[in-house]
Amino acid sequence: MMNKPHFKKINNIPTLIVNDKPFLALAGELHNSSASSDRYMSANVWENINRMNVNTVVAPVYWEMIEEHEGEFDFSSVRSLIEQARQNNKKLILLWFGLWKNGLSTYIPKWMKKDQERYPFVRKSNGEKLYSVTPLCDEAIVQDSAAFRQLMRFLKAFDQEDQTVIMVQIENEVGTLGTDFDYSEEALQKVSEQVPEVVERFASKKGNWLECFGKDAKEYFMAYHYATAVDSIASIGKEEYALPFFVNAWLEKYPARPGDYPTGGPTARMAPFWEKVTTNIEAFAPDIYVPNFSEVCEQFLSFQDNLLIPETRQDIQTVANLFYGIAKYNINCYSPFGIEDFFKEESKQDQNVLVTLAIDASAFRYAGTGIPLSKAYEILSGMSPLILKYRGTDKMFPFMKEKESDRGMLYGLENCEAKITYQNFQDGKIKSSGFLIETGNNELYFVGVNASLTLKAGYGENYQVGVLSLEEGSFVDGIWQRGRILNGDERYYISVDNEPKVYRIEYHQY
């Protein structure tokens, strides 16, 4: 019997194990509604996804579809999604669109939407309702847990052997969007009460929410209620089938005030608190649309060691971030949003309200990204056995140009110095990014975009460094497949341009 998908440390880095082998999820997330129709998926989606060379599809499961009538479950939509994924040789990460999706409750079943006596909505400060069930409503959490239990039971029965489904995200970008707090009587009452013990320990203070958290009291209060709701849903799911679970976050943009982003969700600032008050969540995962990719990665790695990026940008910089995320931050999942549309010239998302909300509208622009991203995925998926073997060791050398003044990187290899030189920023070009892997015996691989590599002796050494051979090619299941041997005019520089590439290099001292 194979082990279930799980995380295991390799070179001290949590690594996803699927079908008993290390696995790197080179993924893409579907638009929200695609997976609700298998006919739509066959006609419009799978072909596009296959062109992208992803090995994993991030796809929603909708509560409103699986429990149309209270207590009656229908998993035919989930079953056909899994069957189609298998036919297309893809793994799946499922998103549980249950009680909360982008801070709202639009995916709860109709019978629940109509019963606001039993399932009350959050109140804004003016008394208006927000279309979002309050996390203080235990009965709603019980209902969500019951449906989630059925989902995990179904997955165990239908998929444990194949392991097409490798992880599950609980809810989607939870928090209150449009108000900073639930101004219901109940919440107003409870926020003035003593905080629970686990919160006391986190705050290292006793007292009520205001005494523990000052001006951030309302946000911590909401976070506590969302976190414990999500954690109890997760614990029920684990009882049935213990796949890795994660929770994603719509990040704060700066400057922002609570209410401008789903408030109470695991943003960079709040995720360490979520981490302390939950026990059934493997990772807190940022949806990175903001420009400061590295900073966000570092924030999320400051309190956990497992980084998943379940949603990210659509512009070409997503390719630069992909290489760097893999080599520098050891991410286990990378997943640009709207993966079925990457070969479309301009996106219909440009009319989306999110584009207006975003500080950086290009985050939602597909233009020109399809080809380089699919090329990068092709290289990285063939190469992933090598990546997973060398990451976390001192043989992996990442690079990315983050600002105009960054010129390059100098790394000391075993028997020479490797100097990486960046290209200048230019419109329509991917930022310089990539990595080297030194595999020993004076052999290395150079992967990336818009950078060049020089191998040379360190200052004061009494030898020089020569290139024995430079090969282009690709990896299949971690094994190098040589293409052209580059020499003469083609070896004048060792460089990659705007098209992602991988080279194998052998050198010597003379």
- Determine the 3-state secondary structure of 438 from DSSP: strand
Orientation angle between helical segments 317-329 and 370-390, nearest 10 degrees: 0
- Of 135 and 336, the one with the shorter C-beta distance to ligand N0T is 336
Residue 416, both tokens = 């020479």
Residues 25-44 that bind ligand N0T (CB under 6 A): 32
Among positions 15, 34, 55, 172, the unique one binding ligand N0T when judged by CB under 6 A: 172
The site map against ligand N0T for 410-449 (x = CB under 6 A) is ----------------------------------------
- Of 237 and 310, the one with the shorter C-beta distance to ligand N0T is 310
* Among 362, 246, 318, CA closest to 54: 318
- Of 260 and 506, the one with the shorter C-beta distance to ligand N0T is 260
Segment contacting ligand N0T by CB under 6 A, of 122-130, 246-254, 318-326, 443-451: 246-254
Segment contacting ligand N0T by CB under 6 A, of 193-201, 245-253, 293-301, 422-430: 245-253
- Is 16 in contact with 22 (CB distance < 8 Å)? yes
CA gap 475, 497 in Å, rounded: 19
- Is 264 in contact with 277 (CB distance < 8 Å)? no
Q: Is 268 in the site for ligand N0T (CB under 6 A)?
A: no
**Number of other CB atoms surrounding residue 40 within 10 Å:** 13
**Nearest distance from C-beta of residue 307 to ligand N0T, angstroms:** 17
Residue 312, both tokens = 């990210």
Q: Report the helix count and the strand count for the chain, using DSSP H and E.
A: 15, 23
- Of 249 and 447, the one with the shorter C-beta distance to ligand N0T is 249
Residues 301-330 that bind ligand N0T (CB under 6 A): 311
The site map against ligand N0T for 325-364 (x = CB under 6 A) is ------------x----------------x--xx------
Q: Long-range contacts: 422-425, Cβ < 8 Å, 24+?
A: 422/450, 422/451, 423/450, 423/451, 425/401
Q: Is 105 in the site for ligand N0T (CB under 6 A)?
A: no
**Nearest distance from C-beta of residue 337 to ligand N0T, angstroms:** 6
The site map against ligand N0T for 449-468 (x = CB under 6 A) is --------------------
Cβ partners under 8 Å of residue 89, min gap 6: none
Distance from the first to the final alpha carbon of the chain: 54
Orientation angle between helical segments 138-159 and 217-240, nearest 10 degrees: 40
**Nearest distance from C-beta of residue 321 to ligand N0T, angstroms:** 15
**Nearest distance from C-beta of residue 91 to ligand N0T, angstroms:** 19
**Nearest distance from C-beta of residue 354 to ligand N0T, angstroms:** 5
Among positions 231, 287, 315, 341, the unique one binding ligand N0T when judged by CB under 6 A: 287
Distances in whole angstroms, Cα of residue 472 to Cα of each of 143, 149, 227, 456, 481: 55, 49, 49, 21, 9
Among positions 102, 132, 143, 176, the unique one binding ligand N0T when judged by CB under 6 A: 102
Segment contacting ligand N0T by CB under 6 A, of 201-209, 249-257, 324-332, 446-454: 249-257
Counting residues that bind ligand N0T (by CB under 6 A) gives 15
- Of 271 and 290, the one with the shorter C-beta distance to ligand N0T is 290
Among positions 290, 396, 400, 409, the unique one binding ligand N0T when judged by CB under 6 A: 290
- Of 268 and 416, the one with the shorter C-beta distance to ligand N0T is 268
Distances in whole angstroms, Cα of residue 255 to Cα of each of 60, 148, 251, 300, 352: 31, 36, 12, 19, 21
The three-state (H, E, C) secondary structure of 212-278, written as one string: HHHHHHHHHHHHHHHHHHHHHHHHHHHHHCCCCEEEEEECCCCCCCCCCCCECCCCCCCHHHHHHHC
Cβ partners under 8 Å of residue 253, min gap 6: 260, 261, 290, 357, 358, 359
Q: Is 253 in the site for ligand N0T (CB under 6 A)?
A: yes
Judged by the rule CB under 6 A, the positions of this chain that interact with ligand N0T are 32, 102, 172-173, 250-251, 253, 287, 289-290, 311, 337, 354, 357-358
